[in-house]
Amino acid sequence: MSFTSLLVSIGPIALVAIGAMVFVENGLLFPFLPGDSLVFAAALIAAPLHVPWFAVIAIAAVAAVLGAELGFAIGRRFGRRLFRPDARLFKTRYLEEADRFFARWGRGAIVLARFVPIVRTYISPAIGASTVPHGLFSVWNAVGAVVWAALLGAAGYFLGSIPWVAGNVEWITLGIVVVSVAPILITALVRRARSRAAVSAASRS
């Protein structure tokens, strides 16, 4: 059974599943869920799901807001001691990546991070562990969640009227995952290559 067929088979309950996955990805520090492609695909097949396409956007936006608020609360409550270099999920490098992203983009990072897998998961606890006021975070968090859900949902709905898009949903959703994750993988590979080069240079000296 294909990805979209599975969503269609469960009908309106798919909204609950989408909301739960978006919430977990943003709030429970589990970054490896296809939030982007889920929202896009669900909006594209909203009619077979028997739900309004804007309901997909609303559910995704609310789940993203609540999830990030939970992530912020986790960061504020436990701080950086929750993360360890050798942890399976709460890796220190994820937190450092979120820190760099916030340092580069400032408050706008809360909005931009929505479109960057892994970063969007860990930037909320990273900010929670900082001195950024909760109210300021909440405002930008809501803006980012609405923009993210609206862009993906609208893209899915309007592109769904194009026959080629409607007939290749699986490949398009896979492409969304690849495109969104590619920058992170490239950055990790570059960092690893530089680290190896530094170690090799040190061993020769």
**Residue 100 or residue 135, greater confidence:** 135
Is it the case that residue 148 has pLDDT exceeding 80?
yes
**Residue 172 or residue 133, greater confidence:** 133
Cβ 129 vs Cβ 79: under 8 Å: yes
Closest to 60 (Cα-Cα) out of 153, 133, 128? 153
pLDDT at 119: 77
**Residue 90 or residue 76, greater confidence:** 76
pLDDT at 147: 92
Q: Give the rounded percent of residues in the chain with a pLDDT score beyond 70.
A: 64
pTM of structure: 0.72
Q: Give the rounded percent of residues in the chain with a pLDDT score beyond 90.
A: 12
| Averaged pLDDT score across all residues of the chain | 75
pLDDT at 66: 94
- Would you list the domain boundaries of the chain? 3-204
**Residue 123 or residue 163, greater confidence:** 123
pLDDT at 49: 73
Where residue 64 falls among pLDDT bands split at 50, 70, 90? very high
pLDDT at 4: 59
The count of other CB atoms within 10 Å of the CB of residue 46 is 22
pLDDT at 1: 46
Most confident of 50-59, 115-124, 192-201: 50-59
pLDDT at 69: 94
Q: What average pLDDT does range 58-86 have in this prediction? A: 85
Question: If DSSP states are collapsed to H, E and C, what string results for 117-130?
Answer: CCHHHHHHHHHHCC
**How far apart, in Å, do the first and last CA atoms of the chain sit?**
57
Cα separation, 167 vs 182, in Å, equals: 25
**Residue 205 or residue 22, greater confidence:** 22
